[in-house]
């Protein structure tokens, strides 16, 4: 299993790009064979999850509420084939800390992004 951490600086999209930033990130993660990535400084708002079509990742996000400035923000990008190993949905503790628990060969592993 390959784990990674990446300060992406922002996942907010502007109109001058041909591709969504989340799609670019997912393609890079796939190219490096990363199974789980902890992304920081995403600047996404709210608590949500989304699937990056064609890339094979599910993103679990935690950020500030919609009406507040978009600072910080964390995301766990999890390869779709590992979703069945998740003990529960990744949990955002704050806009800068998130935990993920998964079952690996009968043992519970906790990953913390901070």
Q: Which of the four CATH numbers 3.50.50.60, 3.60.10.10, 3.90.1150.10, 3.40.190.10 does domain 3-113 have?
A: 3.60.10.10
Alpha carbon distance 87, 68 (integer Å): 31
Q: In what order do the strands lie in the sheet with 47-52?
A: 3-7, 36-40, 74-79, 57-62, 47-52
Q: Where is 28: in which H helix or E strand? A: helix 21-31
Is a pLDDT exceeding 80 seen at residue 23?
A: yes
Q: Which residues contact 93 (CB under 8 A, 6 or more apart)?
A: 62, 99
pLDDT recorded at residue 81: 93
pLDDT recorded at residue 17: 60
Q: Which residues pair with 38 in a beta bridge?
A: 5, 76
| Residue 1 to residues 21, 22, 34, 75, 107, Cα–Cα distance (Å) | 24, 22, 8, 18, 14
Provide the mean pLDDT of the chain.
87
pLDDT recorded at residue 80: 92
Predicted confidence band at 33 (pLDDT cuts at 50, 70, 90)? very high
Is a pLDDT exceeding 70 seen at residue 53?
A: no
Task: Give the domain ranges of the chain.
Answer: 3-113
Is a pLDDT exceeding 70 seen at residue 16?
A: no
pLDDT recorded at residue 106: 86
Alpha carbon distance 111, 114 (integer Å): 10
């Amino acid at each position: 299993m390959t784990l990674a951490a990446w300060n992406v600086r922002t996942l907010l999209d502007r109109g001058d790009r041909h591709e969504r930033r989340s799609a670019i990130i997912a393609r890079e993660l796939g190219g490096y064979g990363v199974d789980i990535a902890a992304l920081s400084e995403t600047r996404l708002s709210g608590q949500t999850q989304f699937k990056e079509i064609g890339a094979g990742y599910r993103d679990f996000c935690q950020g500030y509420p919609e009406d507040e400035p978009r600072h910080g923000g964390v995301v766990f990008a999890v390869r779709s084939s590992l979703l069945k190993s998740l003990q529960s949905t990744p949990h955002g503790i704050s806009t800068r800390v998130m935990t993920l628990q998964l079952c690996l060969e009968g043992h519970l592993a906790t990953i913390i992004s901070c």
